[in-house]
Amino acid sequence: MNLEVVNWKTFRYDEIFIIRKGFYNKKPEASGIGTIPFLGATDKNNGVTGYYTLDEIDSASKTGDPPNAPLEQKIFPGHAVCVTNNGSVGYAYYQENEFTCSHDVNPLYLLKGEFNYYTGLFFASVIMFDRYRWGYGRKWRPSRMKYSKIKLPANSNGDPDLDFMEKYIKSLHHKRISTNIIKTEINIDTVDWKPFLLHKLFIANMGNGIDAIATTEDEPEFNYVSRNSNGNGVVGFVDRIPGENPFPAGAMSLALGGSYLGSCFIQNKSFYTAQNVAVLQEKLPLSNHTKLFISALIRNECKIKYQAFGRELNAHFRKDFTIKLPVKKDENGYVIDETKEFSDEGYIPDWEWMDNYMKSLPYGDRI
């Protein structure tokens, strides 16, 4: 089944959803025997941050002072799509069974019909494509959410086409990924590796720096890459932006700051970038295996030497940011490049070794 997004209909949230507020409550003390999930502002584990009993939920109070709110205000029925409105904003999760949640979560229910497992997953996926529009400084509280818009397939009555959504999700094929590579040991001796400045290895530039609010999605052509550690950093699919040139497929994006500082990905489609994202373009053709090797070293270096909201990469990635790489040798020792294209000392990265190493890893044949 194909998704002809161009023919989808735009709905306002309050036209199709019952938008409920989560409960302003603290997470209860847990005994470890509870089965009711507590949802919070997280991007992990389907939004679940713990499991509790009815008694534990009933006794918990945000202020700790009486009168405590009745239990029915804290428990929400299942068949809901729950959207985080604070912290990790815009993450959406389908909940099959009853749950409790904080006020950082908006439970959504259909005005017509009811979510099931398949339609819930479809709605949650579409909602999360819009999360790049929101952030800690722009929370997605219910009072704002009701004016938000969402594009969905529509039926002949002009309502969201639940039947199509369910059939589409059921049509998706999935099976455990396999590999034909048997793990072999390749000696990684970094003693002879040499440091290289990032801006000597790649053409390093700032990205477009486009705010999410300046993008549209009427006839999308390009990926929109932000500072994110999920989905290759891609947080949206947007229209062409007049006056802005997209970066080509194969270039690498690098998050320069924020919580995901150092996240580095190969982009497989042409793309624009948000604020605080750099773009690395190869000087000579490199395989994806080689670029993955380097991106892993970049992320590791950032964890050690740089800090979000402190020592970020903006002032360093085109100046003094270095990574150590294997270098080319022959029978006489190091191969030196007199043009010093990649190193002021003339060292040449051993691109072939990096490529072969990545290909030798389990699942390297699936890249």
Domain residue ranges in the chain: 5-171, 190-366
**Domains 5-171 and 190-366 agree in fold:** yes
Residue 367 pLDDT = 81
Which of 273, 213, 219 is closest to 4 using CA atoms?
A: 219
- Assign domain 5-171 to a CATH class: alpha beta
The string of pLDDT tens digits covering residues 126-139 is: 999 888 787 767 78
* Other Cβ atoms closer than 10 A to 337: 14
Amino acid at 227: R
Q: Is the pTM of this model over 0.75?
A: no
Packing angle of the helix pair 351-360, 288-305 (nearest 10 deg): 90
Options 3.90.1300.10, 3.40.50.1980, 3.90.220.20, 3.30.70.270; which CATH number does 190-366 get?
A: 3.90.220.20
The string of pLDDT tens digits covering residues 19-54 is: 999 987 777 777 778 899 999 888 888 999 889 999
Packing angle of the helix pair 117-128, 162-171 (nearest 10 deg): 90
